[in-house]
Chains A and B, each alone.
Chain A
């Protein structure tokens, strides 16, 4: 069984400030981990994914995430928030190895204050 916990359903940052969105996972086998972004009335778009290669993963739009096995975490960061980053962000997990079901977290809504 696998699950993810996203801490903070709403996060507000000032434009130009650091963005930190937290995700902790639980998985009985080595996981694959994903971050998706969803803009209003749109589908989900992949930001980045961890697939057991490098633990620091760089994604689109300046986002990155670090896989920390000891902390069972996969937090999403961006050094400087932009107004266009305002959206909902979902962390997701699936077991590694072949086709497996993906489990999503409840999402974190990011607000960027000008």
Chain B
């Protein structure tokens, strides 16, 4: 029944060691998002895909990259994680053609040592 799946749920990495977070969806939605959420803060949009069109938020650091090889999968790459990148990373999808809801995955909590 899971619609938006994120793996792993918990990720520990070392300072400066590249890490990849993954997201998959069974909803066949055109739009996929990556958010960063730090403790007691609102989700902050990093970037989104409208189909294959990539849209980067102006304040997203270059350290963050993303790939969407097909409709179902989307990856977040953090090239050189710093201590400040420790956060919950949320993937979400959205259909098009109206005020469709965003469907969120359970998130990946990233710890940087």
Taking beta carbons and an 8 Å cutoff, which residues of A are in contact with B? 9, 32, 34, 36, 41-46, 49, 51, 90, 94, 96, 99, 101-102, 104-107, 109
B43 contact set on A, CB distance < 8 A: 44, 90, 104
A49 to B99, Cβ gap below 8 A? yes
Count, A-B residue pairs, CB within 8 A = 53
Closest to A42 in B: B106
Closest to B50 in A: A99
Interface check B90, CB cutoff 8 A: yes
Tell which of B9, B101, B103, B109 touches A49, judged by Cβ atoms closer than 8 Å: B101
B4 to A107, Cβ gap below 8 A? no
Docked complex Cα distance between A32 and B99 (Å) = 7
B79 → chain A closest CB, angstroms: 25
Closest to B94 in A: A99
Tell which of B42, B101, B102, B104 touches A105, judged by Cβ atoms closer than 8 Å: B42
Docked complex Cα distance between A104 and B42 (Å) = 6
Interface check B70, CB cutoff 8 A: no
B109 contact set on A, CB distance < 8 A: 41
